[in-house]
Amino acid sequence: MKSTLGARCDDFYASSRLSLKLDLTLSRESILQFFERIQRDYPAMRRLRRRNDGGLVLGEGEPDLRDSESRRWVRLESPALRMGYFSPPSSQAWRQFGRSLLVYAPYYLSMSDLDIDHLDVTYGFDLEYGGNHDQLVAETLYANHPLAGLLAGDECQHVIDCQPYLGIALTPSCDVQAYVEVKSRTSTFEVRTGEYEPQILSVYLTVRRYWGFESAIPLAEAFVQLAEAADELAMNRIVPTLVNPLAQAIASRP
């Protein structure tokens, strides 16, 4: 997966969030049994820690380490279950990980279809660039756009905010949706001084399914369907139209 979707970016990662309508009220025993069940499938997931916000994370390796090594994590929060795979080796590995967790979750965490609000699958593409992210996005994605007159007009001294965020419905009932976001991390202080630190410019693709529209399907099956939709959109739309042009623009700059 890294060799395909993440070939032109510095880091690629997949994550998922199951958002609930009611807060999880779990016993110590339920949490440990859930994490121990995950460990039986993924023995390397043996690092358990509590976040400052109270969330519990079970993962592999150091959670804040940025490198090319693959690693998985799962996080329990009051209103949600999150999981992710940094630099997954293949689409199959990512789907198997997510599917197995969502097979176990309803049983160990006492979830029902009434409690589920929506399920997200998100792909993140990170590109490191030591310059004005917003200027780069404007020049790369809006060069031949009607907004180019504003972003490149005589009155424009600097572009200080250019972060496209778009959403589409993938079904007639709008219960399955897709969103794409380009996230800049350049500050106006950097633009004003002209001194830039290398920072991460991110492209996010999120595919989301809401519950309650049609007959419920198992969580694991819904996850696989969302992952397949994300794969198709990423390969056919996001990578060629956003990630690759931005990567090429960064590579062309000194």
Report domain extents, the chain: 11-252
Residue range 9-22: mean pLDDT, rounded: 95
Residue 103, number of CB atoms within 10 A of its CB: 15
Q: 11-252 has which fold? A: Double Stranded RNA Binding Domain (3.30.160)
Backbone angles phi, psi at 244, to 5 degrees: -60, -45
Q: How is residue 103 annotated by DSSP?
A: H
Residue range 157-165: mean pLDDT, rounded: 92
Residue range 7-31: mean pLDDT, rounded: 91
Q: What is the pLDDT of residue 46?
A: 92
Of 41, 72, 43, the residue nearest 57 (C-alpha):
72
Query: Is residue 72 over pLDDT 80?
Result: yes
Query: Is residue 25 over pLDDT 90?
Result: no
Give 16's pLDDT tier (boundaries 50, 70, 90). very high
pTM exceeds cut of 0.85: yes
Backbone angles phi, psi at 130, to 5 degrees: -100, 65
Query: Is residue 65 over pLDDT 60?
Result: no
- Percent of all residues in the chain with a pLDDT value above 70, rounded to a whole number: 96
| Mean pLDDT, all residues of the chain | 91
Sheet containing 71-76: which strands, arranged edge to edge?
47-50, 56-59, 71-76, 80-86, 11-20, 116-129, 199-210, 176-183, 165-169
Q: How many residues appear in the chain? A: 254
Q: What is the pLDDT of residue 97?
A: 97
DSSP SS3 for 122: strand
Q: What is the pLDDT of residue 68?
A: 62
Task: Copy the structure tokens of residue 166.
Answer: 């778009």
